[in-house]
Amino acid sequence: MKRKDFIKWTGLAVLSPLAVLESCKPKADKAAAAVAVTTYTCPMHPQIVQNKMGTCPVCGMDLVVFDKNNKEASLTLSKEQQLLANVTTVVIGAGSMDNITRLNGRLVVNPSNTVYVSSRVAGRIESLSVKETGALVQKGQLLYRIYAEQLLALQKEYRLAVAQAKQFPADRRFQEIEAAARKKLLLYGQTPAQVTQLISTEQDNPYVYYYAPATGVVAELTVSEGQYVAEGSPILKLEDYGQLWVEADLYPGEASTISKGQTVQVVIAGNEAEKYAMKVEFLEPALQAGTQLLTVRGTIKNTNRQFQPGMPVQVLLNKGSVSDLLQLPLAAVIRDGQSAHVWVQSAAEKFEPREVKIGLENAEMVTILEGLDEGEKVVISGAYLLYSEYILKKGKHPIHS
């Protein structure tokens, strides 16, 4: 019996270490597997992913561990990495800001400066001095010459009336006929000088000359040389671009913030460095067809004709100013449809995302109502790079995880 007990305990003593070794194998294998799947990436080029340490083939920086399981809500960038990423910060502070609403608009031709030229007589266009649209025409410049058979008949009638009046100077009836014939020529568009020349030369001239009634640009040309036109037929349209309308779109809820006679600033696309003063001349009383917008209109000078109708503009509607609010450049705030956040430098090489509530904003700055304290360092350049790198490295949104 003692022999059997001895064999039993001897067997257990031999097998126990083996069992312990076997139980340790899975843990060792898991640890080895974890080491095997560790990957590395470049802080500046997260598309570079390798399963071993090394340098980035793009920028030459040392690769870092690619760990999406890191729960720390921050990013660490060395000074060299910050320089390469162009990450700059500013200490947030309070200040004043103009409360400006920007209205989208456009430049439009002022119809009061548009002149339509039509034929006052029927005939054939003998010659055109202006043959293409876009040409600049000066007031008094010859536009076209038209052959009019009716003018020829009126000239003959007048010369005959003049001859009869001279032959019978005492007959009042012939004097009245001569005066009526002369008036017909004047009403037909002949000048007194042309009528006088007709008598002195005794030669009929069946051509009617038309001159530009105003300075402008030919916007439409509806005839060509040799074409027959009826009385009243349109010939061309002249538009003066020396003054242009500015028409801007306004929502009905904003109508109370603007009034007729108010002076606003206009910024024209391509010339954003300069602002032009404009007085509001018209507020549309009804909504535009098919929209929920009203039209605001004013006039600006275009003396050098550097602006063209159709150019987009912005009308700056100043609603006053506010003060003692925290401000940041617009580029510092990231808006992704869910929230707005900024990146705060909490240490020399550490950056944390911070959700903020924004208030008023203009073309350059935005006010911060909640989420930041005066004196904190906020990233103003490179914020979108930090946002993208956080998502790539952590696999989640900086704010909404």
> 11 pLDDT exceeds 70?
no
Show which of 294, 320, 346 is a domain's final residue. Answer: 320
Residues 123 and 233 in one domain: yes
Percentage of the chain lying above the pLDDT 70 cut: 87
Flag whether 307 is in a domain.
Answer: yes
Shared-domain flag, residues 221 and 298: no
Name the pLDDT band for 109 (thresholds 50, 70, 90): very high
Domain boundary among 257, 288, 320: 320
> For residue range 283-309, what is the model confidence (pLDDT) as tens digits?
888 888 888 888 999 999 988 888 999
Q: Are 276 and 231 in contact (CB under 8 A)?
A: no
> With b meaning 16 or more CB within 10 Å and e meaning fewer, what string describes 313-343?
bbbbbeeeeeeebbbbeeebbbeeeeebbbb
Q: Taking residues 179-192, what's their average pLDDT?
A: 86
Inside any domain, residue 205: yes
Least confident residue range of 104-108, 213-217, 304-308, 396-400: 396-400
Provide the 8-state DSSP code for 45.
-
pLDDT band at 150 (very low <50, low <70, confident <90, very high): confident
The CATH number covering residue 297 comes to 2.40.30.170
Q: Which of 182-186, 214-218, 252-256, 300-304 has the lowest mean pLDDT?
A: 252-256
Q: For the domain that residue 372 is a member of, what is the CATH number?
A: 2.40.420.20
**b/e map 233-247, b = 16+ CB within 10 Å:** bebbbbbbbeebbbb
| Rounded Cα distance, 287 and 374, in Å | 44
323 token code pair: 């003060």
* Geometric angle at alpha carbon 180, from 174 and 181, rounded to 5°: 90
> Looking at the 3D structure of the chain, how many domains does it have?
4
Residue 401 within any structural domain of the chain: no
Half-sphere exposure of 224 toward its Cβ, with a 13 Å CA cutoff? 0
Whether pLDDT at 31 is above 60: no
CATH code for the domain of 139:
2.40.50.100
Task: Return the minimum-mean-pLDDT range out of 15-24, 86-95, 125-134, 332-341.
Answer: 15-24
**Radius of gyration for the chain, computed over Cα atoms and rounded to the nearest angstrom:** 43
Residue 26 has pLDDT above 70, yes or no: no
- Tell me, yes or no, whether 129 and 206 share the same domain: yes
195, part of any domain: yes
Confidence of residue 69 (pLDDT cuts 50, 70, 90): low
Amino acid identity, position 164: Q
**Residue 214 shares a structural domain with residue 255:** no
- 223 and 132 share a domain? yes
**Distance separating alpha carbons of residues 265 and 317, to the nearest angstrom:** 7
| Separation CA 121–CA 146 (nearest Å) | 8
Beta carbons of 234 and 118 less than 8 angstroms apart: yes
User: Phi then psi for 388, rounded to 5 degrees?
Assistant: -65, -40
Q: State the Cα–Cα distance between residues 157 and 181, nearest whole angstrom.
A: 7
Task: Enter the tokens of residue 299.
Answer: 């006039």
C-alpha span between 307 and 107 (Å, rounded): 8
In a domain, residue 247? The reply is yes
Q: How confident is the model at residue 18 (pLDDT cuts 50, 70, 90)?
A: very low
Name the pLDDT band for 28 (thresholds 50, 70, 90).
very low
Sign of the Cα pseudo-torsion (134, 137, 141, 143, in order): positive
- Comparing 62 with 25, which gets the higher pLDDT? 62
- Cα(218)–Cα(222) distance, rounded to whole angstroms? 11
Q: Is the pLDDT of residue 144 over 90?
A: yes
3-state secondary structure (DSSP) of residue 174: helix
Q: If you average pLDDT over residues 102-110, what whole number do you get?
A: 91
User: Which of 320, 344, 359 is at the close of a domain?
Assistant: 320
The HSE-up count of residue 261 (CA atoms within 13 Å, CB side) is 0
Cα 18 from chain centroid (whole Å) = 79
Q: How far is 149 from 147, CA to CA, in rounded Å? A: 7
- The residues, any chain, with a CB within 8 Å of residue 397's CB and separated by 6 or more, are 336, 338, 391
Indicate whether 288 and 385 sit together in one domain: no
Domain that holds residue 136: 117-237
Confidence of residue 37 (pLDDT cuts 50, 70, 90): low
The pLDDT of residue 133 = 92
Q: Are strands 40-41 and 49-50 parallel, antiparallel or unpaired?
A: antiparallel
Report whether pLDDT(364) > 90: no
Higher local confidence (pLDDT), 49 or 91:
91
Per the prediction, the chain carries an average pLDDT of 83
- The answer to whether residues 12 and 85 belong to one domain is no
Going by pLDDT thresholds of 50, 70 and 90, the confidence category of residue 88 is very high
Q: Strands, E, within 243-285: which ranges?
A: 243-250, 263-268, 276-283
Q: Out of 92-106, 143-157, 253-267, which region has the weakest mean confidence (pLDDT)?
A: 92-106
Residues 299 and 343 in one domain: no
Residue 33 maps to a domain: no
pLDDT for 194: 84
State residue 312's pLDDT score.
Answer: 94
Does residue 224 form part of some domain?
yes
Q: Are residues 279 and 178 in the same domain?
A: no
What is the average pLDDT across 196-224?
Answer: 88
Residues 223, 248, single domain; the answer is no
Q: Is the pLDDT of residue 375 over 50?
A: yes
- Verify that 13 and 153 share a domain, yes or no: no
Residues 185, 205, single domain; the answer is yes
50 located within any domain: no
Percent of the chain exceeding pLDDT 90 equals 33
Helix-helix angle 149-167:172-187, to 10 degrees = 160
